[in-house]
Chain A
Amino acid sequence: MPHPTDTTTALDTTPLTDAEVLLLRRDFPALKQQVNGHELIYLDSGATSQKPASVLDAERSFYEHDNSAVHRGAHTLAANATELFENARATVARFVGARENEIVWTSNATEGLNLIAYGMSNASIGRGGADAARFVLREGDEIVTTEGEHHANLVPWQELAARTGATLRHIPVDDDGALRMDEAVRMIGSRTKLVAFTHVSNVTGVINPVEELVRLAHDGGALVVLDACQSAPHRVLDLAALDVDFAVFSGHKMLAPTGIGVLYGRSELLDALPPFLTGGSMITTVTLDSSGYLPAPQRFEAGTQKVSQAIALAAAIDYLTAVGVDRIEAWESHLGARLVEGFSALPGVRVLGPGVGVHRAGLASVDVDGVHAHDVGQFLDDRGIAVRVGHHCAQPLHRRFGVTASTRASAYLYNTTADVDAVIDGMGAVRSFFGVAS
């Protein structure tokens, strides 16, 4: 059975080592291949991660043995499937410091954010009654987000503002991509009903000050939505301790398949928020004219659910836990620092976001003077190195940095120091290839 080496204890925060990483890498079938005549170096986990065999096996095993509809039917397979499905929820809940009824399955983080936005929208037109009063938005109310968000944590709020008449405001970032907390203090106040921000930036690797923002929001009575897409896969997350009201993340960025995501909400909020998608499996009594809804999480899980994906997500979490999320975080911190040091030393290469010496996640995006990101990515791909190019679904942030696109290298637990050195080396050769180095 392919399984991470049990080199850890719960409190171990020593970084992984290159030797351990090379062992882990064997668990990932997709990493064992050549691309353009080179061993694949996968540095695009910020977009989506590769999957270990244990996760693929879990999904396959479900279909081979337990496939059945959950929460319906009285037969044995249905009971087994339901148990696995709900156990997966419990696994996720433990992983992020939540209770089981605070974990809602979504198809991805984007759907989770839309679920909150549409729930609030529905509350704002009177759905959910008095219980949903705290979700009501109207003219004069404000939604605060930031200049550094992924479009998934921006566009739904734009639409929500447009539907309700609320005003959308943005905390700006400074030249290094850090939130301007002086502006945040001024902006977040009694009009603020919701503050939505990312934990870790998918472009700069900046780690935002969650506690401080939560305090500001809660002092004014606003709800907090945390985009944990780039944190849940990479660092220990205790959502209850962070005291956020809602959080979202996607399974595919944390070793699980596509099609499964998680919405966390404090249970009293989830039970009061009007549903977004409606239909089967989320109701109590249905008449021809109206229906009653189950409490959370089921009230948000209309229709046939993503069962095999949820089970596979639990297997992914088991894998991450066995390796030790603290150790992964420490390792990626090492890789991130090395990336930034390496990139910063190259002439004509500008790192977007925090510079050398500032704590960051294990990713870095760069602008290469005179060479478009798309060309940089193509050049690196020729060396078997997979990076992300473009605006990474964060156009406003790129505009802030005065560029339309950048090249991002993002690491995960299966990347070695040598992988990082290879992308730095490749980056160093880009400008002369394209004839722009002096």
Chain B
Amino acid sequence: MSGDLAGLYQQVILDHSREKHGFGLQPDADASSHQVNPTCGDELTLQLHVSDGVISSVTWEGAGCSISMASASLLTDLAPGLSLGDARQRIALFRELMHSRGAGIDDDDELLGDAIVLEGVSKYVARVKCAMLAWVALEADLAQLDA
């Protein structure tokens, strides 16, 4: 196995892809969006629960590759407690990380919590969409709250 592959599939990622924190939809979400990655058939519905302008939880259901599942799980850990504005900032940061082609992001990486383990994905252009799926869903949820 190459070092790159080990970097892509770190143990934390494989664990999250199986444990799927936040898996299971709830009846009372404040926003919900469904995202599909047509190239490989990854699918995900992600719900946002907010109280007093702060994210209380993120819940989701979906099926897809280990990267997309782990990414949703990691996002579920990161999101609670963030203001809506902070959440938008983290999404932007994560997107920057994913498009860094392996270079990473310099400063603010602690803002992404454990999701920083997905940095290795940025070397695999074809997999960036997998990692982004849950984050794009959260972005769509936030947009619904604005509307």
Contact = CB atoms under 8 A, between A and B. Distances in A.
Contacts of A404: 41, 43, 63
5 contacts: A372-B40, A372-B65, A390-B39, A391-B41, A433-B1
B65 A37 contact: no
A405 B63 CA distance: 10
Interface centre among B8, B43, B65, B130 (most CB of A within 10 A): B65
B1 A374 contact: no
Contacts of B143: none
B64 interface: yes
B28 to A, nearest CB: 28
Contacts of A390: 39-41
Given A390-B41, A404-B43, A374 B14 contact: no
A293 B116 CA distance: 63
Contact of A37 (B2, B8, B41): B2
Nearest to A395: B41
Contacts of A398: 41
A372 B124 CA distance: 16
Given A374-B65, A378-B124, A36 B2 contact: yes
Interface string B16-27: 001000000000
Interface of A: 36-37, 371-375, 378-379, 382, 389-391, 395, 398, 404-405, 433-435
Contacts of B124: 378
A434 B2 contact: no
Nearest to A403: B41
Contact of A378 (B42, B63, B64, B127): B127
Interface in B1-15: 1-2, 4-5, 8-9, 14
Interface string B50-65: 0000000000000111
B14 A434 contact: yes
Contacts of A435: 14, 18
Given A372-B64, A375-B67, A378-B127, 19 more contacts: A36-B4, A374-B64, A374-B65, A374-B127, A374-B130, A375-B66, A378-B124, A379-B5, A382-B1, A382-B2, A382-B4, A390-B39, A390-B40, A404-B43, A405-B40, A433-B9, A434-B9, A435-B14, A435-B18
A191 B127 CA distance: 47
Nearest to B64: A372
B6 to A, nearest CB: 9
Contacts of B2: 36-37, 382
Given A36-B2, A434-B14, A434-B66, A378 B8 contact: yes
A390 B36 CA distance: 13
A434 B65 CA distance: 11
Nearest to A389: B40
Contacts of A379: 5
A378 to B, nearest CB: 7
B46 to A, nearest CB: 18
Nearest to A381: B5
Interface in B116-136: 124, 127, 130
A362 B14 CA distance: 33
Contacts of B65: 372-375
Contacts of B130: 374
A377 to B, nearest CB: 9
Contacts of B63: 404
Nearest to A36: B2
- Pairs A-B, 9 closest by C-beta atoms: A374-B65, A372-B65, A404-B41, A382-B5, A405-B41, A390-B40, A374-B40, A375-B66, A375-B65
Nearest to A376: B65
B45 to A, nearest CB: 14
Nearest to B63: A404
B99 to A, nearest CB: 19
B135 to A, nearest CB: 17
A433 B2 CA distance: 13
A310 to B, nearest CB: 30
Contacts of B1: 382, 433
B15 to A, nearest CB: 8
Contacts of B5: 378-379, 382
Contacts of A434: 9, 14, 66
Nearest to A370: B18
B30 to A, nearest CB: 28
Nearest to A405: B41
A373 B42 CA distance: 10
B43 A372 contact: no
Nearest to A38: B2
A290 B40 CA distance: 46
Contacts of A36: 2, 4
Nearest to A371: B66
Contacts of A382: 1-2, 4-5
A372 B39 contact: no
A37 B65 CA distance: 25
A385 to B, nearest CB: 13
Contacts of A389: 40
B57 to A, nearest CB: 26
B14 A373 contact: no
Contacts of B4: 36, 382
Contacts of B14: 434-435
